[in-house]
Amino acid sequence: MSRKGLAITILAVLCVSLVAGAAFAAENWDEIIAKAKEEGVVVAWGTSSRLARVAPILEEQYGIKLQNAKMSDMEITERLVREKQAGINSVDFIMAEDILGVAGQLLPFGYVESWIPEESAAKLDPAYREPFVFLIQPRTILYNTEVYDECPITNLWQLTTPEWRGMVIMRDPEITSTNISFFAEIVARADEMAAAYKEYFGEEIKLTTENAGWEFIKRLAQNDVVTVASDDDVAEAVGSRGQADPPVGFATVGKVRLNVEQNLVLGVAEHIAPINGYHYPAYGLIVTDCPHPNAAKVLVRTLLTDEGMEAWTQDWGNFSTHPDIWYNPENPLGGLDVWTSLTWPLTLEATAQYSRDVLDFWILNRR
């Protein structure tokens, strides 16, 4: 499929979703639970090993065994597509974080669907219903509090300056789809990037690219950004003690817990123009024609409870999309409402329109 065709497909899926919405199931839960117990198992693929921590809940409350396999986003998408094309139905539920894979491949071909229990559907923000998002995680700039009393970055454009050459660290966008989606948002919000440039430098931006979003990506890529494989790598590089001139880095807010676990000194940025970072979704989707559909529904319902989400919400930087579900009160700066105001969402529209070109552009300018 061409890039233009892919973008049109994703946008079409979005439009249909807004009209149709997820399946808000007014079903007989006694019947669903009885059938789920007969099925006896739910097979899940997910990007997080925490999904396995839901297993004791399902087994204790319903006698359902959870068979969970941890995979990368790319592996989940590619494997599910291969199985569907071969007529194989082996998995019931996926937890995925790849906007492009879900909206560009899995939803358009009907390989997965959103299903939400009726009692939860009315409470969820419509933005989280289709595709169904059960978890939000913010990724923002972290800094070393042993060296800096407050974040040394107040404007994203600082990351492109000689002062910060080779001193910015992030997960490699070539293997981190959410970072590419963030770059896509930056392109889509070029006016905000241009305003932030003027705010910091005191003059209008002189472009060598199409707009200020592309210009930021180009300058960042050419400023010797250090790319690593994981947020843990970012956290350790930024927050290790004893550094005279530590870097700053983009990582998930939850990595601040390593201050306790690994004696790091990580701080969280608060007021950066035009934005602190982004927050990204974890989708919880039932596979169509799956072998254990009722057990999959029980799993979804469990993920919309305090107990089912505790594997995530007990730590910092993990927020349920259900407004009634508890989150750790020690979270830096506050809860989901705070973080959604400090960070941009990753939208289907921007990802559809720009992500493929953004990746190529990033690679080109890193050379």
Q: Are residues 77 and 17 in the same domain?
A: yes
Cis (ω within 30 of 0) for the bond into 131?
yes
222 located within any domain: yes
345 located within any domain: no
For 123, the token pair is 């409470």
Q: Are residues 210 and 290 in the same domain?
A: no
pLDDT of residue 18: 41
Q: Are residues 10 and 129 in the same domain?
A: yes
Q: Are residues 150 and 272 in the same domain?
A: yes
Q: Are residues 229 and 304 in the same domain?
A: no
Distances (CA, A) of 204 to 14, 222, 273: 35, 21, 16
Residue 194 near residue 212 (C-beta atoms within 8 A): yes
CATH number of the domain encompassing residue 361: 3.40.190.10
Question: Which has the closest alpha carbon to 234: 223, 248, 245?
Answer: 248
325 located within any domain: yes
Phi and psi, residue 360, nearest 5°: -60, -40
Q: Are residues 17 and 83 in the same domain?
A: yes
Q: Are residues 239 and 289 in the same domain?
A: no
Cis (ω within 30 of 0) for the bond into 274?
yes
Question: Which has the closest alpha carbon to 121: 327, 323, 286, 309?
Answer: 323
For 203, the token pair is 């003059």
User: Cα torsion for 309, 96, 335, 322, to the nearest 10°?
Assistant: -60
Q: Are residues 196 and 90 in the same domain?
A: no
DSSP-assigned letter for residue 155? B
Nearby residues of 155 by Cβ (< 8 Å), 6 or more positions away: 196, 199, 200, 272, 273
Residue 90 near residue 341 (C-beta atoms within 8 A): no
351 located within any domain: no
171 located within any domain: yes
346 located within any domain: no
Q: Are residues 168 and 247 in the same domain?
A: yes
User: Cα torsion for 190, 134, 249, 184, to the nearest 10°?
Assistant: -20
Distances (CA, A) of 195 to 9, 42, 156: 32, 50, 11
340 located within any domain: no
Residue 246 near residue 131 (C-beta atoms within 8 A): no
DSSP annotation string for 260-309: HHS---EEE----BS-SEEEEEEEEEEETT-S-HHHHHHHHHHTTSHHHH
Give the total number of structural domains in the chain: 2
pLDDT of residue 104: 85
Q: Are residues 32 and 151 in the same domain?
A: no
| pLDDT tens, the chain, 367 aa long | 444 555 555 555 554 444 344 555 568 999 999 999 999 999 999 999 999 999 999 999 999 999 999 998 889 999 999 999 999 999 999 999 988 889 889 999 999 999 999 999 999 999 999 999 999 999 999 999 999 999 999 999 999 999 999 999 999 999 999 999 999 999 999 999 999 999 999 999 999 999 999 999 999 999 999 999 999 999 999 999 999 999 999 999 999 999 999 999 999 999 999 999 999 999 999 999 999 999 999 999 999 999 999 999 999 999 999 999 999 998 888 999 999 999 999 998 899 899 999 999 999 999 8
pLDDT of residue 74: 86
Query: Cα(299)–Cα(295) distance, rounded to whole angstroms?
Result: 6
CA atoms lying within 13 Å on the CB side of residue 184: 25
Query: Cα(111)–Cα(260) distance, rounded to whole angstroms?
Result: 42
Q: Are residues 159 and 298 in the same domain?
A: no
35 located within any domain: yes
Q: Are residues 263 and 163 in the same domain?
A: yes
Range of the domain at 233: 137-278+356-366
